Amino acid sequence: MHAEVAIMTNQERAEEPVLRHDWTQGEAEALFALPFSELLFQAQTIHRRHFDPNEVQVSSLLSIKTGACSEDCAYCPQSAHYETGVKRESLMSLEDVLEAAQRAREEGATRFCMGAAWRSPRDGDLEAIAAMVEGVKALGMETCVTAGMLSDEQARRLKEAGLDYYNHNLDTSESYYGEIITTRTYQDRLDTLQRVRDAGMHVCCGGIVGMGESAADRAGLLIGLANLPRHPESVPINLLVRVEGTPLADTAALDPFDFVRTVAVARIMMPASRVRLSAGRSDMSDEMQALCFLAGANSIFYGDRLLTTENPQAQRDRRLFARLGLRMAGLGCWVP
Ligand code: SAM
Ligand code: DTB
Ligand code: SF4
């Protein structure tokens, strides 16, 4: 048993939580060890202080450059190190990207996230991405890009183009990181995150669970995120999509309640951030997703595809939202 976090008293519940950046491993593990109902109650109580609990932000994802990535991330179907059957595709044209963004907007997405399978972008590619950002902004959508490590100059260029969010994940705890990626370090990731912050963009940063890590590693991931100088505005919690051909293809499935616990602890540790129920929803029941929303998730990837793997059909999500009385943020109503 962990002594540091006891079940909250009524007085403690009434106190406004501050944004903390000094979480300890013991405190985070103690949250994970709480009885499930107590943890969800604490998370939902904090959630309601910061957000409308019935509103969910929806982002749509597009892979603008697919496969043949030089990195060896053990979870990733796009790594050139593994045979996964993902077809290599070069950078998409501006026209095709804008057409996809328009379709996503019509479906109800308010943010358009463009993902590129690179260790880091070349300067020429970055110019093409800057044009995509400008085009998507002109459609009235928020923009997000994930394209690997950035230099200071590249971060400034994306900010200048109007980029709202840059996604760059810590992926797992610092101590488990070496089991998952060897071609770039945890510190490399922190450096890119700092450059994104310094350039004045919002940070989207989270990780993956279900990679064979321990509960202590899940606590460590959330500590890495919450103890950044500023909390990421957007925190994607991905459930590993086990893709044939990757080293993690045969990893044992995570207990769904441990996934929900991770969402709840993320909500408690980063009370004002959007916590996104990200990859892996195709493997989740509607009931599990409802528990995630109760635990404080208030953002999803919406649309039939993630980058290279499937996501629930938009129609299924609309039905789920209607059944749960959830609204898409920015729309004021469900998309019929
Ligand atoms: N190459 C860039 C990078 O790694 O930062 C951007 C694209 S990369 C695909 C973005 C994120 O997708 C990764 O950091 C990882 O968290 C997530 N991801 C990739 N494959 C996944 C999988 N099989 N299951 C869950 N999340 C995955
Ligand atoms: C994030 O944290 N999850 C998204 C997004 N950021 C770019 C990616 C999920 C990818 C899942 C595997 C695939 O579809 O290739
Ligand atoms: Fe490349 Fe990103 Fe996949 Fe790692 S996660 S192999 S960096 S595309």
| pLDDT, one tens digit for every residue, the chain (336 residues) | 343 444 555 455 445 557 899 999 999 999 999 999 999 999 999 999 999 999 999 899 999 999 989 999 999 999 999 999 999 999 999 999 999 999 988 887 889 999 999 999 998 899 999 999 999 999 999 999 999 999 999 999 999 999 999 999 999 999 999 999 999 999 999 999 999 999 999 999 999 999 999 999 999 999 999 999 999 999 999 999 999 999 999 999 999 999 999 999 999 999 999 999 999 999 999 999 999 999 999 999 998 899 999 999 989 999 999 999 999 886 443 333
Unique residue bearing structure tokens 């597009």: 62
For 70, which DSSP code?
S
Residue 2: its pLDDT value, please? 44
Q: Which amino acid is at 102?
A: Q
| Phi, psi of 142, rounded to the nearest 5 degrees | -75, 155
Q: Are 201 and 158 in contact (CB under 8 A)?
A: yes
Predicted TM-score (pTM) of this structure: 0.92
| Ligand 1 centroid from CA 168, angstroms | 9
The pair of structure tokens assigned to 104 is 């996503």
Q: Distances from the Cα of 95 to the Cαs of 57, 91, 109, 149, in angstroms?
A: 26, 12, 19, 25
Beta-sheet strands, E only, within 97-172: 111-116, 142-146, 165-167
- 144 carries an active-site annotation: yes
User: Which 3 state secondary structure label does DSSP give 273?
Assistant: coil
Residue 15: its pLDDT value, please? 52
Residue 151: its pLDDT value, please? 96
For 244, which DSSP code?
T
60 - beta bridge partners?
Answer: 112
- 113 carries an active-site annotation: yes
Residue 136: its pLDDT value, please? 95
Q: Are 314 and 302 in contact (CB under 8 A)?
A: yes
Q: Which has the closest alpha carbon to 75: 263, 208, 182, 190?
A: 208
Other Cβ atoms within 10 Å of 293 Cβ, number: 23
| Ligand 2 centroid from CA 134, angstroms | 23
User: Within 13 Å, how many C-alpha atoms sit on residue 249's CB side?
Assistant: 9
Which ligand 2 atom is nearest residue 115's CA?
Answer: 7
